[in-house]
Amino acid sequence: MTTDQPLLQARDLHKSFGLTPALDGASLTVAAGELVAVMGPSGSGKSTLLHCLAGITRPDRGTISYQGQDLTAHSDARLSALRRTEFGFLFQFGQLVPELTCLENVALPLRLNGLRRRAAEARAADWLERLEVADLAAKRPGEVSGGQGQRVGAARALITGPKAVFADEPTGALDSLNGERVMKLLTRAARETAAAVVLVTHDVRVAAYADREIVVRDGRTLDLTPAR
């Protein structure tokens, strides 16, 4: 699923932390419904690129557009609202709230957006079923395995119906078997909902799930997709 206008477009991004440059002219375009893998060695700037695209980090220079609107011009409040409603996030260690059950964790984004508990948890139960972890609903994150926790995290990332999901090394803490299962379920669910996915990974097996592969080296981007 693609449109003439890119869903996300970053142009000539520069970002430094102190005297250390993280991005040095990085550019990236993501179409609606597209899965893009961002690869590169540690310290190359790939996570910084992801955080800039998601409105978590502001670049020093360059532009980022989302649905044709300049993200860099948005207020912090507007960016926060986008992250609650139109962006989903999945990180290496899930970042589930340990005091909440898995069901409550998945329902949390809807509750923060004002949906009543019963309705939010009904939708959360459906997403746990779709990610094949419905039996974990009453368990807390400390009671489930890493692979199970990542599938719960994927359900939470997708429950709001985001237009874009940002996944930072989502299989980095998992063995190959669990990593494959997480990726199969995540990509299937994203395809079903037409969500774009920007995936940071160092694993070529994970990148193989993507429509395109982008390599970041020394803060710059290279598209590895063969010309058609």
* 104 neighbors 163 (Cβ within 8 angstroms): no
Q: At what angle do helices 102-112 and 146-158 cross, to 10 degrees?
A: 20
Q: Which helix (H) or strand (E) holds 77?
A: helix 76-85
Express each pLDDT in 50-101 by its tens digit.
999 999 999 999 999 999 999 988 999 999 999 989 999 998 876 899 999 9
Q: Stretch 182-189: mean pLDDT, rounded?
A: 92
Give residue limits of the domains in the chain. Answer: 8-94+145-223
For the ranges 53-62, 141-150, 219-228, the lowest mean pLDDT is seen at 219-228
Residue 4: which pLDDT band, with cuts at 50, 70 and 90? low
pLDDT number for residue 1: 40
Distance CA(14)–CA(61), nearest Å, equals 5
pTM: 0.91
Q: What is the largest CA-CA distance in the chain?
A: 50
pLDDT number for residue 194: 92
Q: Report the chain's terminal Cα–Cα distance, integer Å.
A: 17
Distance CA(221)–CA(130), nearest Å, equals 34
Is the pLDDT at 224 greater than 90? The verdict is no
Q: Stretch 20-37: mean pLDDT, rounded?
A: 95
CATH code at 8-94+145-223: 3.40.50.300
Is the pLDDT at 173 greater than 70? The verdict is yes
Is the pLDDT at 128 greater than 60? The verdict is yes
